Amino acid sequence: MEPLEDRAHAFAAAAHGSIDQRRKYTGEPYIVHPVAVAALVRSVPHTPEMVAAAYLHDVVEDTPVTIKEIEQEFGLEVAELVGWLTDVSRPGDGNRRVRKHKDLLHSAAAPPAAKTIKIADLIDNTKSIRAHDPSFWKVYRREKMALLDVLKEGDPTLWKQAYSQAR
């Protein structure tokens, strides 16, 4: 791994670990998800900054870490990617459908590198949700298909994999 990727992995593990964040269905330490997302990103054409952002993609959303801290630690390019991967909706914005639509519009405007990471995130989350929560899978599948419509500029190999999971 590149030093940037190593640092991002360690930073994400510490951030998620600091709040003892766990995967919803398995109880595993949360870092298993960013590691899986980074591996998917690494499997297609990528940059070290994309892999770093894959490790960090949930840090701002889920922990006390800020985008400014990401920028100070990893640079502007990684911080911008993480910003594109961070939900912009807030609970006060309305019900789940309203919030997810707001987040979809944010994802639609993202650059291709961020879309590639988002697709990898969807692939890994789909595996968990389909296996452990069939009733939520129906809701998530609809949201995922809508997201995939706006993520077509991401990596085509990952996009096809994500699409085939949801069929």
The catalytic position among 6, 28, 61, 149 is 61
Cα 88 to Cα 19: distance, rounded to the nearest angstrom: 21
| Amino acid at position 140, single letter | Y
Q: Are 103 and 88 in contact (CB under 8 A)?
A: yes
Tokens of 83: 């910003």
Active-site option among 62, 87, 133, 143: 62
Residue 90: which of 109, 74, 108, 103 has the closest Cα?
Answer: 103
What is the SS3 assignment for 166? helix
Length reported for the chain = 167
Query: Is 69 marked active-site?
Result: no
Would you call 62 a catalytic residue per the annotation?
A: yes
Tokens representing residue 39 in the block: 């591996």
Nearest CA to 84 among 11, 6, 162, 147?
147
Q: Which residues participate in catalysis according to the annotation?
A: 61-62
